[in-house]
Amino acid sequence: MAFFDDLASLCAREMASARKAGNSQRKAAVVEGLATILGRTIAMAADGDPRAVDELLIGSDGHAAREAVEFSKLVQFTMSCRKSK
């Protein structure tokens, strides 16, 4: 899936750069930007139908929460490996 890979790569590069610089505002800007684009994409996918928007928001919220919880384990592991060096 080229779109996902491209988006993941773009976000990973930006977040890595922000983390390396210790720039919490830049990290927050990445999250805010993604949330904005997600909201707009959901509105377009739902053709502006408020009920469809609501369903897509609920589904994407749950999906994002699961991804964050699972990926945080890998982030914690890599952070601990870096600290032990």
Res 1: pLDDT? 76
Q: List the structure tokens of 23.
A: 């720039």
Helix, strand, coil % in the chain, rounded to nearest 5? 90, 0, 10
Res 31: pLDDT? 95
Which residues have a Cβ under 8 Å from the Cβ of 18 and sit 6 or more positions away?
Answer: 24, 26, 27, 29, 30
Domain total in the chain: 1
Res 37: pLDDT? 96
Positive or negative, the CA dihedral 60, 66, 68, 70 is negative
Range of the domain at 60: 2-83
Res 83: pLDDT? 81
Each of the 85 residues of the chain gets a pLDDT tens digit; together they read: 799 999 999 999 999 999 999 999 999 999 999 999 999 999 999 999 999 999 999 999 999 999 999 999 999 998 888 888 7
pTM: predicted TM-score of the whole model, two decimal places: 0.82
